[in-house]
Structure 1
Amino acid sequence: MRHPSARALARPLALAVAATVIPLMSAAPASADSVVVGGFPVEVSESPWTVALTSRDRFGGTRAGQFCGGVAVGRTTVLTAAHCLGAEALGGPPEQVRDLKVVAGRGDLLSGEGREIAVRDIWVNPGHDDVANTGDFAVLTLGEALPPGSAIAMAPAGDPAYEPGTAAVVYGWGDTSGAGDYPTTLHAARVRVLSDSVCEQAYPGGEVGQYRPDTMLCAGEEHGGRDACQGDSGGPLVAGGKLIGLVSWGGECGRPGSPGVYTRLSAVLRTLGWDGGADAAS
């Protein structure tokens, strides 16, 4: 689950519109047991709040048009990454994407299960800086309500779920190897929340990108092997049964010293004035 080509230069993890229908350029392979990278297939019933953003018009029907992930935090409210809705990812403003939908309750993108729900309203964080990757979140309002129990609670500032070493899980339909291998089924990877010092050392600034602990957190394994990758942007990072991050950016998928960087949910809550409870955003 992460970037398209070698993540030597840190950049967002959405599929680019230029990659429509055809595979992305391959990257240096990650660990041999890679799946989401270093993960495993998972039933969507285990994480009903994990959703896919799709547009067949922009990305073709090979994987039902999936290009990013998202997470339901209310029955009509989905969080995703701001860069998923940028011109680089979509080829133009999101308002010009005629068939932008959220697919919920569907683990296999090619199956008929679950629902495809039109997006009624889009709010992209005006504080998002696509160069620094700060403020990387957006809010989608759905045209129809999801079933009860579809939303996940969000961890507020000070929640122990943010503590370094905490076990977490990241979900998505992105690259499972770092080499352009895109599944049609939902995968998950077990990672750990890493300390700010580890993340700052990995991303000190310059071309690699700068880690900013007030709005970001990072997770993975210090020795590499499990990670998010290209196509996972906007998807959930969950710890202690609560949402703590949204897949945002990073270096090479699953590589030592190149952990995944996530939008910190406590910063999202602060910006939006939400309290973090399940369905609090409804």
Structure 2
Amino acid sequence: MRRPTVRALRGALALTAAATVVPLAAPVPAAADSVVIGGTPVSVENHPYAVALSSRTRFGGTRAGQFCGGAVVAPTKVVTAAHCLSKEVLGANGVRDLKVIAGRSQLRSGKGQEVVVRDTWVNPGYSPVTNAGDLAVLTLASALPESYVIGLAGPGDAAYAPGTAAAVFGWGDTSGRGSYAASLRSAPVQVLSDGACERAYPGNSEGEYLGATMLCAGDLRGGHDACQGDSGGPLVAHGRLIGLVSWGSGCGQAESPGVYTRISAFVAPSRNAAPL
């Protein structure tokens, strides 16, 4: 059986020349150097809410330090996966150069802007064991344009209905075998029912789907999915943010859909204390 993969940075750690950086054991979350499986290149100009998290001191400059994705939900607020800020990803001492790269499709280009992260909030209910509540909020030192902001799909939004067409965005692994790209990509997926997700992840070695804070989406035939390095990246349906890349079993595997943080669990009047 394949072990569940929390989709965080593995490839960027391997790429950096810093001897003090220890590569994460595979499999891990979908955080840093991956590209969406079965996707195609897209322009960030059409999807300005899609941003990259960067730390050159931790991950080197080959891909501008990119290790996770995120989504702009207010001019000074970006949401991402909680596991992107874990010690496993950023190291025991964290990083001092955490930035958000916005307005840039090609990581190695000089377009867009790199904004310093002033503060971070990690959901206190996040469980690194089950991946439940996998959400964090970054506060930026300077504001991004209002046009970058994407709306949030709250409880009861039709965008969560099973069968809804959605798209996932990221700079992660395109093949599941370490084929990393430097350009933003997007893949079409379909929102799946809680029942389908519970059957895929019933709580065995594949992982456990917990619908209260998780959302499932993918292609049951395989071929379209997020992968390593896409963690924290946006899942969008009906023009609204419905999820963030969190974890899954393999990448693009049939009957093993991607699991996302359910945004509606953190939108008022939710009992969660996320500042959204």
The CA RMSD measured in Å over matched residues stands at 1.9
Contact (CA 8 Å) 2:5, 2:250: kept in 1 or not? no
Q: Deviations for 1:165-189, whole angstroms, at most 9, x for unmatched residues? A: 0000000000011111111000000
2:143 aligns with 145
Structure 2 matches for 1:24-35, cutoff 5 A?
none
Cα displacement (A) at 1:20: 4.4
Does residue 222 (structure 1) correspond to residue 220 (structure 2)? The answer is yes
Provide the rounded CA distance (Å) in 2 between the counterparts of 1:190 and 1:205. 27
- Within a 5 Å distance, the mapping from 1:206-221 to structure 2 comes to 206-221=204-219
> What residue in structure 2 maps to residue 42 of structure 1?
42
2:14 matched residue in structure 1: 19
Structure 2 residue aligned with 1:69: 69
Indicate the SS of the match to 2:241. Answer: strand
Answer yes or no: is the 8 Å Cα contact 1:25–1:180 preserved in 2.
Answer: no
Runs of 4+ with deviation above 4 angstroms: 22-27
Which of residues 248, 260, 263 in structure 2 aligns to 1:262? 260
Contact 1:13 1:233 in 2 (8 A): yes
SS at match of 2:266: helix
Going from structure 1 to structure 2, the CA distance change for 1:148 and 1:136 (only over 3 Å counts) comes to: same
**3-state DSSP of counterpart to 1:44:** coil
CA distance in 2, matches of 1:273, 1:124: 8
Q: Which amino acid aligns with 1:50?
A: A
Alpha-carbon distance change, 255 to 84 in structure 1, aligned in 2, over 3 angstroms:
same
Query: Shift of the alpha carbon at 1:24?
Result: 8.8
C-alpha deviation, 1:200, in angstroms: 0.4
1:10 alignment partner AA: P
What secondary structure does 2:152 align onto? coil
Looking at structure 1, the residues matched to 203 and 114 of structure 2 have their Cα atoms a distance apart, in angstroms, of 39
State the Cα distance separating 1:101 from its structure 2 match: 0.3
Match of 2:81 in 1: 81
Give the share of equivalent positions with the same residue, in percent: 59
List runs of 5+ in structure 2 lacking aligned partners: 18-22, 28-34
Deviation at residue 257 of structure 1 after TM alignment: 1.2
| Residue number in structure 2 paired with 1:104 | 102
* Unmatched runs of 5 consecutive residues or more in structure 1: 1-6, 28-34, 275-280
SS across alignment from 2:120: strand
Q: TM-score if structure 1 supplies the norm length?
A: 0.88
CA distance in 2, matches of 1:13, 1:182: 14
How many Å separate the matches in 2 of 1:52 and 1:260? 19
Conserved? CA contact 1:13–1:247, under 8 Å: yes
What's the CA shift string for 1:9-32, capped at 9, x where partnerless?
A: 1131110474342799999xxxxx
The equivalent residue for 1:232 is 230
Question: Who is 2:32 aligned against?
Answer: none
Aligned with 1:9: secondary structure? coil
Q: Is the 8 A contact 1:71 1:235 kept in 2?
A: yes
Secondary structure of the corresponding residue to residue 79 of structure 2: strand
Q: Aligned-pair distance for 1:147?
A: 1.1
Q: Which residue of 1 aligns with 2:129?
A: 131
Q: Secondary structure at the match of 1:84?
A: helix
Counterparts of 1:60 and 1:260 in 2: how far apart (Å)?
28
Change (3 A) 1:26 1:156: closer
Q: Distance in 2 between matches of 1:135 and 1:26?
A: 22
Aligned equivalents of 2:54, 2:99: Cα separation in 1: 5
Distance in 2, matches of 1:54 and 1:151, equals: 19
Alpha-carbon displacement from aligned partner over 1:48-71 (angstroms, at most 9, x marks no partner): 010000000000111001000000
Residue 120 of structure 1 deviates from its aligned partner by 0.2
3-state SS of paired residue (1:144)? coil
| 1:247 alignment partner, SS class | strand
Q: 1:112 to 1:82 in 2, by over 3 A?
A: same
